[in-house]
Amino acid sequence: MHAKAVWLGRLEYGAALKQQKELVAKVRRGEEPDTLLLVEHDPVITLGRTAKREHLLFKEAALAEQGISVFAVERGGDVTYHGPGQLVGYPILNLNRHGRDLHLLLRNYEEVLIRALADFGVAGRRFPPYTGVWVGEEKVAAIGVAVEHWVSFHGFAFNVDPNLDHFGLIVPCGISQYGVTSLARLLGRPVELFEVIPHVVHHFADVFGLTLAPSAGRQPVGSEG
Active site members: 173
SS3 at position 56 = strand
Please state, in angstroms and rounded to a whole number, the distance separating the CA atoms of residues 151 and 147: 5
Contact call for residues 134 and 127 (beta carbons, < 8 A): yes
- Tell me which DSSP letter residue 54 carries: G
List all residues 6 or more positions away from 15 whose beta carbon is below 8 Å from its beta carbon.
none
Please state, in angstroms and rounded to a whole number, the distance separating the CA atoms of residues 79 and 77: 7
DSSP string, 76-133: SSSEEEE-TTEEEEEEE-BTTTT-S-HHHHHHHHHHHHHHHHHHTT---EEETTEEEE
Residue 185's alpha-carbon distances to 43, 79, 89, 102, 133, in angstroms, are 19, 22, 21, 31, 15
List all residues 6 or more positions away from 164 whose beta carbon is below 8 Å from its beta carbon.
180, 181, 182, 185
SS3 at position 139 = strand
| Strands, sheet with 44-47, edge to edge from the N-terminal-most edge strand | 69-72, 44-47, 79-82
